[in-house]
Amino acid sequence: MRVLVTLDGNVADPDQPQIRVDDLGLMRGDGIFETVLVVDGKPRELDLHLNRLARSASLLELPPPDRAVWEARVRQVIDGWSWPDSPEMALKLVYTRGIDGGDGTPTGFALGMEIARKVRDQRRDGVAAVILERGFDSGLAERAPWLLLGAKSLSYAVNMAANREAARRGADEVIFSSADGIVLEGPTSNLILAKGRTLRTPPPNIGILPGTTQAGLFRAAERAGWSVKIESIGLDELTGADGLFLASSVRKVTRVHTLDGTALPDSAALHAELTALYESEY
């Protein structure tokens, strides 16, 4: 099932055309988005998602999103969903620069969708990942803010192409590397490395998204006595980890079982522990 509500509050038919062909989000990928996981009617990390929407809008110099309006749209979509028959929803918030040559009024909508079977299987079984170059060094985001590294923009063609390259190499997922040998993120996820009782994830200032799922997991882990660190991770550290995980709203905390074709140490028990911690937050 799907539920669509436009930014002005109209409940619309997701099977009918709703976007103009001259919308800059469509023509140039000039817009931003968020994907929120909603479980049993409760959105997870909505505040962090709306903070990040505002941050992305500011990076793209879009009009600041009206938080109360977006909260109301989120509520409308949730209220229109068939709980408890469909206990989980991926809720996409999309906000574009509006129509080409228009008056600058942004286009926005909130769309609730089912979560793909493949994603649910991967939560349980883990994924094989490959390391792919992203082509920039870890200092570029700060040197060149106009590149919008770390904004959640609609320009995800490269991210999707990387996933296809992973599939060509027989893998499910990608871990992007920087030109200076640093771990960045996945095309739609953050990397978390576990070693001993420490969890680490790379810092957003190297040109990656600050993850809401990673944040939730780190809060829970810290409370449970883990040490959590936001710091650079060298590519050479990946194979020595006790576990590598890809975190995102829809996939939750998914374990990487194979890296570049080589099986990693079994982290199923660690995955179960981290998943329990993550779920305890909600």
User: To the nearest whole angstrom, how small is the minimum distance from the Cβ of residue 112 to ligand PLP?
Assistant: 16
Q: How far apart are CA 45 and CA 103, in angstroms?
A: 33
> Under the criterion CB under 6 A, does residue 56 sit at the interface with ligand PLP?
no
Total residues binding ligand PLP (CB under 6 A): 13
Q: How far apart are CA 233 and CA 203, in angstroms?
A: 9
Point out which span in 19-27, 63-71, 208-216, 220-228 binds ligand PLP (CB under 6 A). Answer: 208-216
**x/- site string to ligand PLP, residues 25 to 44, per CB under 6 A?**
----------x---------
User: To the nearest whole angstrom, how small is the minimum distance from the Cβ of residue 3 to ligand PLP?
Assistant: 20
When the beta carbons of 76 and 254 are compared against ligand PLP, the nearer one is 254
* Amino acid present at 79: D
Which DSSP category does 242 fall into?
S
When the beta carbons of 99 and 214 are compared against ligand PLP, the nearer one is 214
Judged by CB under 6 A, the residue of 190, 201, 267, 275 near ligand PLP is: 190
Cis? peptide before 84, omega within 30° of 0: yes
Scan residues 150-179 and list those touching ligand PLP (CB under 6 A): none
Point out which span in 113-121, 161-169, 205-213, 272-280 binds ligand PLP (CB under 6 A). Answer: 205-213
Nearest of 217, 195, 211, 186 to residue 267 by alpha carbon: 195
Point out which span in 55-63, 106-114, 204-212, 226-234 binds ligand PLP (CB under 6 A). Answer: 204-212
Residue 137 and residue 177 in contact, taking contact as beta carbons nearer than 8 Å:
no
The owner of tokens 């103009």 is 20
Q: Could you please report the per-residue DSSP string of 83-102?
A: TTTS-EEEEEEEEE--BTTS
When the beta carbons of 99 and 278 are compared against ligand PLP, the nearer one is 278
Q: How far apart are the first and last CA of the chain?
A: 24
Q: Would you give the distance in Å from CA 153 to the centre of its chain?
A: 11
Binding site for ligand PLP (CB under 6 A): 35, 185, 188-190, 209, 211-214, 247-249
